[in-house]
Chains A and B, each alone.
Chain A
Amino acid sequence: MALEDVCSFKERPVQHKWFSFSSLGDAAIPFPKSDYYNLRLETSENNCGVPLHFFIPPLPHSSSFINRPLSSFCPPKNSMTVQRPFRLAHGTTTLGFIFQGGVIAAADTRASAGGLVACPAVHKITPIHSHLVVTSSGSGADCMLWERILIREIRLYQLRHGHRLSIRATAKLLSSMLHPFKGTEMCVALTLCGWDNGPKLIYVCSDGARLQGDVFSVGSGSPYAYGVLDRELRWSLSKGEAISLAREAVFRATHRDAYSGNNVDLFHITAQGWIVTVMRSVKTNLCAHEKKPRNL
């Protein structure tokens, strides 16, 4: 598998089965019992001990944990975690809201690493399938990985069952996949914006939060965006008004927040699927803003 090669893990014999599915009985298991998800990094002293196990993380000195409940995960005690180079913060502005014409998802495009702008043109909104996009915030690496995992899981479900997983179920799946990593340094805050029998907006966080709502904004620039959104957001907005509102909200956040900036990505999700608007620099908003009369 490509993901295996990327993670360069070594083949290990199956040491345990999936607890979560084996307890349901054989008839209910949708996935094959194999080493499929055993993407585990070496837990040696030199290595970071964070496992990529999705349902049951490997705990050292434990022989079998068939009966261990899912919630008793704790990070391996005798492995060292790699020191973070800088303090992580959700240095971004992403937002999503629902209106009569569907869902709008908008984000800035700046990736910051401490005080450095690591990349001024990052895509923080990723399509999962034709009717679902996800906006990401938190650690860029973690978000990219989990988006890939989510895309794969949703596609597999679709192939196995012949219909697409609903967005609420997608959020639940993502939340339960993230659960074993609660308490570790993983930092992922995703907003699922999509359409299935109606517009849906669900916020999933690696802390365990899973919230459905009408408007969400995540990241260091989110308070600035919330101020603008709360004021102007109405159900009855037209499509053009909604797009310009989202752009204005991201612009206001980039204006005040140091960790947000550069361009604005905007996705509009309707019953027909998602449409992306062309990435436009916030400079156009800035020029319009500065043209207002300012006499001193």
Chain B
Amino acid sequence: MATKNPFLTSSSLPTCLPFASSQSVPLPFPMAHGTTTLAFMFQGGVMAAADTRSSCSGLVACPASQKILPIHSHLVGLTSGTSADCALWKRILARELRLYQLRHGRRLSTSGAAKLLSHMLHPFKGTELCVAATLCGKKMNLSGPRLFYVCSDGTRLRGMLFSVGSGSPYAYSILDQGVHWGLSVDEAKSIAREAVYRATYRDAYSGNCVDMYHITSKGWTRRNREDLKEEYYREKERRKHEKTERRDTSLSDSHTQILLEENREDCWTEERW
């Protein structure tokens, strides 16, 4: 893309800036970050997890979308907001980082990548662009993990734990309880999975499967996508078992209610993804 201004470096903004374009297309429905993504740092690197549901104002547009996008071998981005915008900006960021690496012979650091993304998004502040990305990577010398949250309204934060999206409050309480620096890799995986599961349990816009990425000094590794339906059914069985225990001790008015709940058919049994 040729730039109009010769003084700007070529690794900068795309040509169609908001003030140069014609009138904007009205959004079809109010955008919300209908998702659950989370990432936290611990002694074994960074653990990132996200659900896989793409929603479109009440419709599940895609039950198997990918919200964790690897940018290069040591940097992974979690996206929330408009999926179209997120996919585009991930590609733009990946391109810019690769160009930087080719020109300067070394990779841009995670905080540099976050700053670059933030500055690229800045001209779109005030428009309908909606991107909230969490960049998970390593320090420059690969000695420690780094976690940055970059948002299209201009926020750029460094932290140890972030969760973004409509399901994030549910995930936050689980993460706050269990995350500390000294976690083992397996404990970190199970807490990340539990947090996403709890968010999908309560939030309507999160669901389907959970993706997990683990970033270490050797790069990122991806766990197989897990369908949370199984976990949901396990929990349902457990609650059913509890209800039969309750039934022995409770009296007649709640008795009928428990019977009704047990016999209620689950909609999921008929569906095929």
A interface residues, Cβ below 8 angstroms from B: 100, 197-198, 212, 223-228, 230-231, 234-236, 248-249, 252-253, 255-257, 289, 292-296
* A139 vs B14: C-alpha distance when bound (angstroms): 48
Contact B242 A235 (CB under 8 A): yes
Within 8 Å by CB of A227, from B180, B202, B246, lies B202
Closest 5 CB pairs of A and B: A223-B169, A227-B173, A252-B173, A227-B170, A224-B173
What bracket does the count of chain B residues touching chain A fall in?
Answer: 20 to 34
Instruction: A223 to B203: give the CA distance in the assembly, Å.
Output: 9
Greatest chain A CB density within 10 A among B173, B182, B245, B253 is at: B173
In the bound complex, how far is the Cα of B171 from the Cα of A235, in angstroms? 23
Q: A197-B253, A292-B180, A295-B181 are in contact. Are A227 and B245 (CB under 8 A)?
A: no
Q: Which residues of A contact B170 (CB under 8 A)?
A: 223-224, 226-227, 230
**Most interface-central of A235, A248, A295 (chain B CB within 10 A):** A235
Q: Do A231 and B253 have beta carbons less than 8 Å apart?
A: no
Check if B47 is an interface residue, CB within 8 A of chain A.
no
- Of the candidates A100, A225, A227, A231, the one having the most CB atoms from chain B within 10 angstroms of its own CB is A227
B202 touches A223 (CB 8 A): yes
A227 and B174 form a contact (CB under 8 A): yes
Query: Nearest residue in B to A222 (C-beta to C-beta)?
Result: B169
Which of B21-29, B117-125, B192-200, B208-216 is the contact stretch? B192-200
Interface centre among A212, A224, A253, A255 (most CB of B within 10 A): A224
Most buried by B among A198, A253, A255, A257: A198
Binding site for A on B (CB under 8 A): 43, 169-174, 176-177, 180-182, 194-195, 198-199, 201-203, 242-243, 245-246, 249-251, 253-254, 257
Complex CA distance for A225 and B174, rounded to whole angstroms: 9
Q: Please, which residues of chain A bring their CB within 8 A of the CB of B246?
A: 100, 235
Give the Cβ gap from B243 to chain A, nearest Cβ, in Å.
Answer: 8
Instruction: Tell me, in angstroms, the Cα distance from A223 to B198 when the chains sit together.
Output: 10
A292 to B178, CA, bound (A): 10
Q: Does the CB pair A198–B177 fall under 8 Å?
A: no
- Asked if A256 contacts B169 (CB within 8 A), the reply is yes
Nearest residue, chain A, Cβ from B168: A223
A293 with B180, Cβ < 8 A, contacts A197-B253, A198-B254, A236-B245 known: yes
Given known contacts A198-B250, A230-B201, A249 and B173 CB-to-CB distance under 8 angstroms: yes
Given contacts A227-B202, A236-B242, whether A296 and B181 have CB atoms under 8 Å apart is yes
Q: How far is the CA of A167 from the CA of B250 in the complex (A)?
A: 16
Please determine whether B250 and A230 come into contact, CB atoms closer than 8 angstroms. Answer: no
Q: Which partner residue on chain A sits nearest B241 by CB separation? A: A235
* Nearest CB of chain A from residue B8's CB, rounded to whole Å: 38
Which residues of B have CB within 8 Å of A236? Answer: 242, 245
Residues of B within 8 A of A252 (CB): 172-173, 176-177
Closest chain B CB from A212 CB (angstroms): 8
Residues of A within 8 A of B180 (CB): 292-294
Chain B: minimal CB distance from A131 (Å): 15
Q: A227-B174, A252-B177 are in contact. List 16 more A-B contacts (CB 8 A).
A: A197-B253, A198-B251, A198-B253, A223-B170, A224-B169, A224-B170, A225-B173, A227-B170, A227-B199, A228-B177, A231-B194, A236-B242, A255-B176, A256-B173, A256-B176, A293-B181
B169 touches A295 (CB 8 A): no
* Docked complex Cα distance between A83 and B149 (Å): 38
Bound-state Cα–Cα, A224 to B242, Å = 24
CB distance from A246 to the nearest CB of B (A): 13
- Flag if B181 contacts A256 (CB, 8 Å): no
Contact A227 B181 (CB under 8 A): no
- Option from B181, B198, B249 in Cβ contact (under 8 Å) with A230: B198
Measured CA separation A294–B177 after assembly (Å): 13
27 examples of A-B residue contacts, CB within 8 angstroms: A197-B251, A198-B250, A198-B253, A223-B169, A223-B170, A224-B169, A224-B170, A226-B170, A226-B173, A226-B202, A227-B169, A227-B195, A230-B198, A231-B174, A231-B194, A234-B242, A236-B245, A252-B172, A252-B176, A253-B173, A256-B169, A256-B172, A292-B180, A294-B181, A295-B43, A295-B181, A296-B181
